[in-house]
Structure 1
């Protein structure tokens, strides 16, 4: 009976939805275990926008967002390539490379990534500044998805490499099943009254933590 109660409590926690406004995930360790799994009811995407804020001092490759399907481990992946100093967006295993960003350590960066199957175009907005638009796939992302923060999936829900793990803080993760307008992206960057994600909503997030990841109050500057 006690085991059944514990399992029920775990299931309830896994299915819970939490408002993480003014909070952040802290990833304090580098390993191939620590991660946060995010749940969405959307199982097909003809377009995607993912926005997040991150803070790190890493000077190596690292993952920022990893969505895999049973057919494509890089269904929608946002990744920093340190050697080439570029932000990469992978859609259905097709890579787009964006260069020229001043990705400074130890400060918050707001990054939005968009893609539409109607045009195939992929674009990144870095701290409110748009990249060029590059050609990507024109087929939908479909199938059961696994969405992770902290680890990059080289296989469906697994294949983690500690040398690609994220260490730092992450907040305000939203995902939409359409391409946000430039004005909506700017409102997100400025943390104004923007439309929250309809696929992932930081203000109503369904998530499960594995290993050492903390939920903390978001750090802010004090003014006297």
Structure 2
């Protein structure tokens, strides 16, 4: 009986500790963009310069904007070019642009239910693809041998037509964005699927949402949430 009681006690202690650790690992910050604007945005501070020959960019996003409406999801601009922009197009397709014409994908549209979105690109082959809730799109060849240049600004919520300026209300993001992580390599399909299902994965070396630094402008709100 004594041994049985001790066993029960250890089980309770183990479960309590495990649940506490688990809860601490999945509490993240959620950025809420409440309305259309030309002044609400978040500037992300990268861990290393974005001098890239490959990348994986992931985020969780939800928006109720519908119809023929461009929506900027991620913007990285230097003084001269839009080096890396991710868009929801007028027709609902998702796309990304590297200093010029973009590559577009016919995938399920964004909506009020959260979507886990990842973008991958490799310069050596030009291979690019999207992952939507862990499912991979077809592969397209885009910008082979291109290099993304450093010394720019990364922002969420607005599309800068000049260096951190000239925002347009009708392209602004409305909704929520969280769990933005970025690597300077192309992650494997299995790793991206693990990120979607919230398993333990290598932390982003460009952006790590658990320790990310950012600057808020305008009406953006930060809400802590548990996944």
Name the TM tier (shorter chain): 0.7 to 0.9
In the TM superposition, residue 129 of structure 1 has moved relative to its aligned partner by: 1.2
- Counterpart CA distance in 2 for 1:118 and 1:145 is 23
Query: Which residue of the other structure, out of 148, 154, 158, is the alignment partner of 2:155?
Result: 148
In the TM superposition, residue 71 of structure 1 has moved relative to its aligned partner by: 2.8
Matched, 1:65 2:42: no
In the TM superposition, residue 20 of structure 1 has moved relative to its aligned partner by: 9.1
Q: Identify the range of structure 1 (128-137 vs 183-192) with the bigger mean alpha-carbon deviation.
A: 128-137
- Counterpart CA distance in 2 for 1:174 and 1:143 is 18
Q: Identify the range of structure 1 (200-209 vs 39-48) with the bigger mean alpha-carbon deviation.
A: 39-48
Say if 1:70 and 1:143, in contact at 8 Å, map to a contact too: no
Query: Which residue of structure 1 lines up, in the alignment, with residue 42 of structure 2?
Result: 36
In the TM superposition, residue 213 of structure 1 has moved relative to its aligned partner by: 0.7
Larger radius of gyration between Structure 1 and Structure 2: 2
Query: Which residue of structure 2 lines up, in the alignment, with residue 177 of structure 1?
Result: 184
In the TM superposition, residue 64 of structure 1 has moved relative to its aligned partner by: 0.7
Cα shift readout 1:128-153 (whole Å, capped 9, x = no counterpart): 11111222222211130210000012
Query: Which residue of structure 2 lines up, in the alignment, with residue 129 of structure 1?
Result: 135
Say if 1:20 and 1:202, in contact at 8 Å, map to a contact too: no
Cα shift readout 1:34-90 (whole Å, capped 9, x = no counterpart): 0000011324111111100011100122011111122322x11110013x2200111
Query: Which residue of structure 1 lines up, in the alignment, with residue 17 of structure 2?
Result: none
Matched, 1:25 2:21: no
Aligned residues between the structures? 199
Matched, 1:191 2:162: no
Runs of 4+ in 1 over 3 A off after TM superposition: none
> Where do 1:102-113 residues align within 5 Å?
102-113=108-119
In the TM superposition, residue 105 of structure 1 has moved relative to its aligned partner by: 2.0
Alpha carbons of 1:187 and 1:147: their partners in 2 closer, same or farther (altered >3 Å)? Answer: same
Matched, 1:210 2:214: no
Say if 2:60 and 2:114, in contact at 8 Å, map to a contact too: yes
TM-score of the pair, normalised by structure 2: 0.83
Say if 1:61 and 1:80, in contact at 8 Å, map to a contact too: yes
Say if 1:91 and 1:136, in contact at 8 Å, map to a contact too: no
- Counterpart CA distance in 1 for 2:89 and 2:139 is 18
- Counterpart CA distance in 1 for 2:161 and 2:186 is 26
Query: Which residue of the other structure, out of 111, 114, 122, is the alignment partner of 2:120?
Result: 114
TM-score of the pair, normalised by structure 1: 0.84
- Counterpart CA distance in 2 for 1:157 and 1:177 is 23
